[in-house]
Amino acid sequence: MSDTPGLAIETTGLSRRFGKHLAVDGLNLAVPRGAIYGFIGLNGAGKSTTIRMLIGLLAPSAGSVRIRDTELARDPVAAKARVGYVPDRPTAYPWMRVREVLAFCEGVIPSWSPTLASHLLKKYRIDPRSRIRSLSKGTGAKLSLLLALAHDPEILILDEPTDGLDPIARDEFFEEVLRASLDSPRTVLISSHSLQDIQRATDHLGFLHNGRLIFQGATDDLLSSTKRLRLMPQSPIDDGTLRKLSPDISHIAREGRAVTLTLRNFTPAAAESLRSASHSPVFDIADLSLDDAFKDIVKGMETTCS
C-alpha cells in the first residue's frame, strides 16, 4: 500500500467474514485528511464492522487499514493514539464515576489533556460525580465525545453516535462534532442513520451496501451529478430499454405513464438523449436530497443485483 499523504484513513481490500457470511467485502476506503466523511449504509450493510476494524476492535479476515502513515496491524498503539472513537452507546466502565473514568484515561493515554477534558466537561454540562450508568443517553453520548476528544486526536471516528437520541440532543451532538472539527484540523468519519444530519455536516461520503462500497466521493459532487428526471413517454417503454439508453440510471419508478429516473453522472446532453429516445414531451429535472440519492442508488443496486 502506498503512503498517500492526503489520506487520513485508507483501507485496501478490507474484508471480514463471520462464518459463511461476508460482512465486509474488499473495501477500499479513502478518507481525505481534514474531511468530514459520512459513512452511510442500511442496517447490516457492514458499517459498524468496518468501523470496528478501523479502530482495531476487530481483526480483518483480509486486507489492511492504514491510519495516516501507520499500518494498524503493525503498530496498533501508535495508530490508535491518532484516533478518538465514539461508539453507538457509552462503553466506558458503567460502575465508574465520570471523574474516575477521566482519571483512568489520564493515566493510560499519554497525550490526554486534563485541561481540555475539564473544559469539555464544563461545556457539555456533565456532572463529574455522576456514575456513568446513571447518565441519560444524550449526556452519555457527550461523555463519549469528550473521552474521544480530550487527547486531541487527528481523527475522530463516530459509529452511529446519535442512535436513540431525541432530535434536540441529536442536533446538539452534531453541533459539538462540527465545532470539534473546526476547533482543530481534524478528520471526522461518521456513520449515522440521520441522512439530514450527514448532509448538513459532511463534505465526503461513502455508501456501503452488502459490505461493498458503492459510492465514494465528495458530497457536492454526488448531489450535483445525481438528478431526478421525470419523463412522460408517448408510448410505453420498459426498464430494460431505458437502462440500455443510459447505464447511469440508478433507479426507475413509475406512476401511471410517468417515469421517474435517477440519473448519476448527470449531464444535460445525457438527459436530452433520454428525453428524445423516449419521445417524452414532458421533461422535468430535479435536484435530490442526500436521503433520496442514497435510497435511489441503493434501490438501483438491488434491482441490478436481482
Partner 1 sequence: MFLTLLRKDWRLAKPAFWLTFSLVFVPPLVGVLLTAYSRIFDNAGPLWRYSNDDHHSLIELFLGGYLMSGLAIPAVAASLLARERRERSHAFLASLPISRSRILASKGVVALMLFAIPTAIAWTTASLSNPSFYGNARMENLFTPLLVETAFFFGIGGLGWILASILPSEVLSSAAALVLAITAFFGVILAFAVVPSLRNIAPGQIEETRNLILIAIYCFFALTGITGGTLISCLRSSP
Cα radius of gyration (the chain): 22
The amino acid sitting at 97 is R
Considering beta carbons, is residue 104 or 283 the nearer one to partner 1? 104
Considering beta carbons, is residue 59 or 285 the nearer one to partner 1? 59
Considering beta carbons, is residue 31 or 297 the nearer one to partner 1? 31
Tell me the C-alpha distance between 292 and 207, whole Å.
13
Cell 473546526 sits at which residue? 182
> Nearest-CA neighbor of 59 among 13, 29, 16?
16
**Residue 93 Cβ vs partner 1, minimum distance, rounded to whole Å:** 5
**Residue 85 Cβ vs partner 1, minimum distance, rounded to whole Å:** 4
CB-CB neighbours of 258 under 10 Å: 14
**Residue 59 Cβ vs partner 1, minimum distance, rounded to whole Å:** 4
End-to-end CA distance of the chain: 34
**Residue 139 Cβ vs partner 1, minimum distance, rounded to whole Å:** 16
Strand, helix or coil at 68?
Answer: coil
**Residue 161 Cβ vs partner 1, minimum distance, rounded to whole Å:** 13
Q: Is 169 within 8 Å of 146 (Cβ atoms)?
A: no
Strand, helix or coil at 287?
Answer: strand
Element at 249 (helix H, strand E): strand 249-255
Q: Is 235 within 8 Å of 228 (Cβ atoms)?
A: no
Tell me the C-alpha distance between 303 and 306, whole Å.
5
Considering beta carbons, is residue 42 or 103 the nearer one to partner 1? 103
Considering beta carbons, is residue 52 or 275 the nearer one to partner 1? 52
- List residues near partner 1 by CB under 8 A: 52, 55-59, 76-78, 80-81, 83, 85, 87, 89, 91-95, 103-105, 107-110, 147
Cell 428526471 sits at which residue? 229
**Residue 89 Cβ vs partner 1, minimum distance, rounded to whole Å:** 8
